[in-house]
Amino acid sequence: MKIVGVTSCPSGVAHTYMAAEALQNAGEEKGYEVHIETQGAGGADNTLTVEQIADADYVVLTNDTSIRGIQRFKGKKVIELSSTVIIEKSGALMNKLAKM
């Protein structure tokens, strides 16, 4: 399975990167290909490519604040969760995606 995501939080610091790491680790534990873009205080890092988005089975977005460039995901299966939920329950999220 291929998953892409974008994480961001109001301050653009800790939760942005903690959520990205949680998604990356949980996905890799399942053997999934995971690419996560972070939109932090310093701008975007690991910007998703058109190919990564096109190939993705699912898109996971944080909903703590507006994601820049959200139109890139039109037509994709998008899941929006708070960064806190992603940090605390990323393993459960990956299990749920496997069953969808």
Please give the pLDDT value at position 55: 98
> What global pTM score does this model have?
0.94
List domains and CATH numbers for the chain: 2-99 (3.40.50.2300)
Q: Is 87 a residue of the active site?
A: no
pLDDT range class, residue 11, cuts 50, 70, 90: confident
Please give the pLDDT value at position 57: 98
* Per-residue tokens: 70: 């959200």
Q: Which of 3, 4, 9, 19 is catalytic?
A: 9
Query: What does the mean pLDDT of the chain come to?
Result: 95
Residues 12-51: tens digit of each pLDDT: 779 999 999 999 999 999 999 999 999 988 899 999 999 9
Q: How far apart are CA 66 and CA 9, in angstroms?
A: 9
pLDDT range class, residue 94, cuts 50, 70, 90: very high
Closest to 11 measured CA to CA, from 61, 52, 65: 65
